Structure 1
Amino acid sequence: MWRAATLNWREDSNEQGSRRKAAQYVRMSTEHQRYSTENQSDAILRYADERGYQIIGTYSDAGKSGLRIEGRDGLSQLLEDIQTGKTDFDTVLVYDISRWGRFQDADESAYYEYICKRAGIAVEYCAEQFENDGSPVSTIVKGVKRAMAGEYSRELSQKVFAGQSRLIEMGYRQGGPPGYGLRRMLIDEAGNQKGVLARGEHKSIHTDRATLVPGPEDEIAVVNQIFRCFVDDNQSEAVIAADLNAKGIKTDLDRDWTPSVVRQLLSNEKYIGNNIWNRHSFKLKKRHVHNSPDDWVRSEGAFEAIVDAGLFAAAKAIFAAKAHRYSDEEMLDGLRHALETHGFLSGIVINEASALPSSGAYQSRFGSLLRAYKLVGFTPDRDYRYIEINKRLRKIHAGIIHETVVGIEQVGGLVQRDTKTGLLTINQEFSASVVIARCTQTDAGAYRWNIRLDTGLLPEITVVVRMDQANETPLDYYLLPTVDMTFPKLRLSESNGLSLDAYRFDDLTQFFAMCERISILEVA
C-alpha cells in the first residue's frame, strides 16, 4: 500500500532497552553527492552511536527541494506522527540545518522544529558545530544557519536563471512541447544534430541540448493556412478551429482544436524563429507570476521560421486592435446586439461573433461572463459556458488518461485500463483513478476546485488534475491516497494548507516513479 511517507522501521536485536530511541530524517534534492541519503544516514548513525541513541525509524524525502514543505512527504508524515502522538521516540536526528529545509522564511523552519519541541520531541543536528540545547548561543547560530540555507537557494536560483537565460539566447529550447508544425532536435555540445526527439522523449546526456526545427510539410502548410485565414479572410479563432476539426486535423497533442489553441498558435513568436522564455516564473517555489514583456528573455532568429514575419506581424496587430479597441460600453453594446440576434448568450456565441472580443476578454474585463450577462440584462436559464467547459474537459480527460498510460509504460510499468470505469490497475499491485477538477470563480473573485472522489471504485490513489483558471490546461496535480481521504468530496482553494498541499505536485513525475518496475538484480 502506498503511503504519503516512506517509513523504514528497523530493530537491532543486540540493542538494550536502556538506549534512547530516535528517528532520523534525511533529505536529498539534486545537490552534491555529500548529501545523498546514504551518506546522511551513515553520519547520523555514527552520531547516534556516540550519543547512545537507537535509531528505530527513518523518514526520507529523496529528490525533494527544501524550499517548502509541500511535496515533502517524509517531513509531513514526521510532523503528523508527532502531533498525533504516533511516535515511539523522543528525538529526531537530522544531518544539518539545510537538510531540515532551505525555507526562504527562517521562521518557517523554526516553526516546524517548534512543533516537535512542543510535543516533547527534541531535534538534533548531527553535523553542526553547536548543541541544539535551547541556549542563547544555539538560538543565534540556528537563526544565522537558517538564513544562510535560504540564501544559498536564492543565490543558486539566480545562477540557474542566468544559465538558463544564456541557453535561451543561444537558441536552445528550455522544456515544453514544440508545438504544431515544429519538432525538437537534439544537439550535442559541438552543435551537431543527433535526431528528432519524439513526444515524451528526453535527452540522456547532460551536455546535449534541444532546439526547434520545422516539422512535416503538411503541418507547416496548416500553420500558414491558419495565419492566412485569420489575417486575409478575417476568420475568428472559433471558425478556424471548427474548420480544422471538420477536416479531421488534430493538434500536436492529438486533440481537437479550440479557439484558445488557435489563438496561442497565432501569437507565439517561435513560428517566426524567436526564442521567448520567462513569460511566467515560479522562482523559489513561490506563487506563479505572469511577467511583463520587459522581463522576458528573448533571442530573435534562434530557429528557422516557418511563417512569414509580415504575416505574423499582421496577426499581432489584429490582436492588439481587439485588445484596445473597445471601451466597456462598446463591449456591452456588442453583447446586447448578440443577445438580440441569438436570443441568448454563451461563450460559443461570443467567440463565433467576429465583431466581438473573445469570451475570455469579457471574463477578464468584467470579472466573469455571468456578470457581463447581468450588465446587458441576460439571465441564463442554464450556465451554457459550464456546459462548454464540461464538454472540453471530457476531451482533455481522455487525453490525460492516454498520456498517463504512456508515461507508466515508458518507465517499464504494466497498466490495465477498465474501459467502462477508466480505473487503472498498475503492475497488478495498486489501482488509480484520474479525476479532472474544473476551476470555478466565486462571487468574491476567489478560485475554487470541487473534487468528487471515485468512492465506488475505491482506487488506492486518486490522481486529481487541477485545471487552470481558463480550464484549458492542467495547473498541477494532487496524488490523493484513498486511505487518507475521509470525505467523498473535496473543495480546494489556491492554497490548502499542509493536510492537502503535501500531496500536490507540478507534474506526474512522482506518480510515474511509483509505477516504475526495477529488476531484483538492480535493487540488489
Structure 2
Amino acid sequence: MSGNTVQSEASGPVRAAQYVRMSTDHQRYSTENQAEIIAAYAARRNFEIVRTYADEGRSGLNIAGRDSLRRLIADVQAGSADYEAVLVYDISRWGRFQDADESAYYEFICRDRGINVHYCAEQFDNDGSLPSSVMKSIKRVMAGEYSRELSSKVFTGQCRLITLGYRQGGPAGYGLRRFLVNEANEPKAPLARGEHKSLQTDRVILVPGPDEEIEAVRRIYRLFVVERRSEREIATLFNSEGKVTDIGKPWSRAVIRQILCNEKYVGNNVYNRVSFKLKKKRVVNTPDMWVRSDGAFEAIVDPALFDAAQVILTERARRLSDDDLLRMLTNLLGSHGTLSGMIIDEVEDMPSSAAYRSRFGSLLRAYQLIGYEPARDYRYVETNRQLRLIHPNVVARTIAGIEAIGGEVVVDETTDLLIVNREVTLAVVIARCQATPVGTLRWRVRLDAGLCPDITVVVRLDPDNITVRDYYLLPWIDVGARGRLGMGEDNGLDLDAYRTDGLDPLYHLLRRHSLEHAQ
C-alpha cells in the first residue's frame, strides 16, 4: 500500500466523498451494495465519508444525464469540494465510457486538484505505479467493451422480436394504441401512455385506437390522395375544427406527413430506420438495413390508399432533378439569408428537408453543393424540428392561462407576439438545452431587439429537449439591451430573480386589479 493511501490514526481520518451509480445491468451493482463495500474500504484506509454523489438508474456510457457525477466534477473544478479523495466501487461504476480517455480525463480533473480517486473493489491500488496504470487502462477498455457487446446482443434480440410482430419501444401514434400480450400471444391489457410492461416474458403489439382517431387517419389519406390537399392544408383544417393530436397538441405539417408515410398504419412492423447506438451520433439508415414484419398488426388504412400516398410523396420529390432541388435551395437562401430544416419544411411549395436528406445524403451535403456554410451545428436539426412542435402548444397554454384570469389575448400574425389586454406584449421563446463536453448544461436565448416585447417568456427545456425545465419572465426594460443571453444552471441573481417553475407569476402580473378610490 502506498504512503498516501494509508493514514495514521494520529493524523485523523481523511475526508472523502463517495460516488455510486446504478444502471440496470445487474442487481449486485445497487447503490446500497456499492456503499457497503465503499464503507468497508474507508474503515480500513482511515477515510471519513462526508459527502455522497449518487446517480441511480443512469447509463455509464457518457456523462450526459449523470447529474451527480457532473456536480462532483463541477465542485472539484470550482474548488468547493470539502474532501481529499473520491471513493468509487469499481472502474465500471465510474463509467463505461466508449472512449477510455474520457474516463481518464474526469479522473485527471480530480487528481490535478489534489483529490485522488480510489476504486474500492478493484484488486489494485490506484497509486500511479506501472502495474496499477496498466490494469486500470485494461479495465477501462473492458468496461466500454461490455456495453458494446451488450448493445449488439440486445439489438439482435430486438430484431428477432420485430420479425415476430412485437413492438419495440416508442409511442403508438395517433389512431393506434399499445396492447400487452403474454408469451403465448394471449391479450392481457392495454398500455396507457407512459406505462411499461413489468414482466420480461410479456410483449407489446399495436391495435386500432379510438374510432374517432381511426376515422381521422383515414380522412387524412382521403384528403391527401383523393382531394390532393397538402399536408399543411390538412393540418390547418384539423386545427380549425378544434382537433388535437393524441398528445393534445395542435396539428402541423410534420405530424400529418408522419402519418402519411408510416407503414404501421397498414399493419407493418418496421425497425432500425434510425440508429442511435451507445448514445453516439444519430444515423438515418437506408431501407436495406431496416428490419420488418409485414402484416404484423391490424391495418387501419387501406393498403391501396397507403400505396397511392407513397407514390404522391415519391413523385413530388422525384419529378425534380438534383439541379432543380439545389436551385430551389439557393433561392430560399437568397430570400431568407440562412437555411435550416425548419425553414425548408415551412415553405409550402418546397420539397421537405427529408427529401433533401434522402437525395443528397444529408442537409449539410446539400448546403455544401450550393456553397452555403452554416454557422450552426447541424446535430441539432432534429431538436429544432421538435421545438417547432412544442412552441404552438406552449403558446396555446399561455394564452389559455391568461384568458382564464379574464385577460384578452390577440396574436400578431406577423410577429407572433401576444398582445394582452391591448396593452402588454409578450414574446415566447423556446431555449434548447445543450450539454458541454464536461457535462454542464447551457441555454442560448436571443432577445428580439426589433420587436422589443414588454416581457419575454423564456421556456427552458431539459436535456431531452422535450420536457419543460423552467421559465424566465424577462422584462425588456431590464434585460432587453443584452440582445443575446448565455444561460447556465445557475445564473446569479440578476437573471435567476426572474426564474419560475410555472407561469402563475405571469398570470398574477397580467391580472387586472380593481382600485379603490380614496375618500
CA RMSD of superposed structures (Å): 4.4
Letter in structure 2 aligned against 1:133 = D
Residues 1:395 and 2:389 are matched in the alignment: no
Q: 1:286: how far off?
A: 1.3
Q: 1:360: how far off?
A: 6.8
CA contact (8 A) 2:345 2:351 kept: no
Residues 1:144 and 2:127 are matched in the alignment: no
Residues 1:101 and 2:98 are matched in the alignment: no
From 164, 170, 186, the counterpart of 2:180: 186
Residues 1:71 and 2:65 are matched in the alignment: yes
Determine the C-alpha separation between the residues in 1 that align with 2:118 and 2:386: 52
CA contact (8 A) 1:255 1:399 kept: no
Matched with 2:4 is none
Change (3 A) 1:325 1:480: same
Determine the C-alpha separation between the residues in 1 that align with 2:170 and 2:264: 12
Change (3 A) 1:451 1:269: same
Matched with 1:300 is 294
Change (3 A) 1:94 1:347: closer
Structure 1 window deviating more from structure 2 (146-155 vs 107-116): it is 107-116
Change (3 A) 1:259 1:98: same
Matched with 2:260 is 266
Determine the C-alpha separation between the residues in 2 that align with 1:108 and 1:349: 40
Bigger RCO (CA 8 Å, 6+ sep): 1
Structure 1 counterpart SS, 2:177:
strand
CA contact (8 A) 1:94 1:126 kept: yes
Matched with 1:406 is none
Change (3 A) 1:480 1:297: same
Matched with 2:29 is 35
Q: 1:211: how far off?
A: 0.9
Structure 2 counterpart SS, 1:78:
helix
Matched with 1:225 is 219
Q: 1:310: how far off?
A: 1.9
CA contact (8 A) 1:273 1:306 kept: yes
Matched with 2:277 is 283
Aligned 1:17-416 pairs, distance under 5 A: 18-327=12-321, 330=324, 350-351=347-348, 353=349, 357-358=351-352, 393-397=390-394
Q: 1:126: how far off?
A: 1.0
Letter in structure 2 aligned against 1:304 = E
Change (3 A) 1:278 1:488: farther
Letter in structure 2 aligned against 1:319 = L
Q: 1:477: how far off?
A: 5.2
Q: 1:367: how far off?
A: 6.3
CA contact (8 A) 2:345 2:352 kept: no
Determine the C-alpha separation between the residues in 1 that align with 2:483 and 2:140: 40
CA contact (8 A) 1:435 1:465 kept: no
Change (3 A) 1:47 1:183: same
Determine the C-alpha separation between the residues in 1 that align with 2:267 and 2:396: 29
Aligned 1:473-512 pairs, distance under 5 A: 475-476=465-466, 479=469, 490=485
Q: Write out per-residue CA displacement over residues 74-104 of structure 1, whole angstroms, 9 at most, x where no aligned residue.
A: 2112222222221232221111111111111
Determine the C-alpha separation between the residues in 2 that align with 1:125 and 1:389: 41
Structure 2 counterpart SS, 1:200:
coil
Change (3 A) 1:119 1:335: closer
Structure 2 counterpart SS, 1:179:
coil
Change (3 A) 1:247 1:168: same
Change (3 A) 1:70 1:419: farther
Letter in structure 2 aligned against 1:282 = F
Determine the C-alpha separation between the residues in 1 that align with 2:117 and 2:324: 64
Determine the C-alpha separation between the residues in 2 that align with 1:51 and 1:438: 45
Structure 1 counterpart SS, 2:245:
coil
Determine the C-alpha separation between the residues in 2 that align with 1:286 and 1:330: 34
Change (3 A) 1:462 1:60: farther
Residue correspondences, number: 411
Q: 1:326: how far off?
A: 0.7
CA contact (8 A) 1:271 1:306 kept: yes
Matched with 1:464 is 461
Letter in structure 1 aligned against 2:206 = L
CA contact (8 A) 2:431 2:459 kept: no
Determine the C-alpha separation between the residues in 2 that align with 1:67 and 1:389: 24
Change (3 A) 1:452 1:30: farther
Determine the C-alpha separation between the residues in 2 that align with 1:151 and 1:391: 38
Letter in structure 2 aligned against 1:18 = G
Q: 1:330: how far off?
A: 4.1
Change (3 A) 1:133 1:207: same
Letter in structure 2 aligned against 1:83 = Q
Structure 1 window deviating more from structure 2 (66-75 vs 184-193): it is 184-193
CA contact (8 A) 2:167 2:205 kept: yes
Letter in structure 2 aligned against 1:137 = P
Determine the C-alpha separation between the residues in 2 that align with 1:357 and 1:239: 15
CA contact (8 A) 2:181 2:202 kept: yes
Q: Write out per-residue CA displacement over residues 248-277 of structure 1, whole angstroms, 9 at most, x where no aligned residue.
A: 333222233222211111100001110112
Change (3 A) 1:163 1:398: farther
Q: Write out per-residue CA displacement over residues 142-184 of structure 1, whole angstroms, 9 at most, x where no aligned residue.
A: 1111000000011111111112222222211122221222121
Q: 1:499: how far off?
A: 10
Determine the C-alpha separation between the residues in 1 that align with 2:82 and 2:471: 24
Letter in structure 2 aligned against 1:437 = A
Unmatched 5+ stretches in structure 1: 1-14, 339-345, 376-387, 403-416, 421-433, 440-447, 467-473, 501-510, 512-524
TM-score by length of 2: 0.68
Letter in structure 1 aligned against 2:169 = G
Q: 1:247: how far off?
A: 3.2
CA contact (8 A) 1:67 1:103 kept: yes
CA contact (8 A) 1:170 1:299 kept: yes
Q: Write out per-residue CA displacement over residues 56-75 of structure 1, whole angstroms, 9 at most, x where no aligned residue.
A: 22111111111111111221
Q: 1:336: how far off?
A: 12
Determine the C-alpha separation between the residues in 2 that align with 1:197 and 1:389: 25
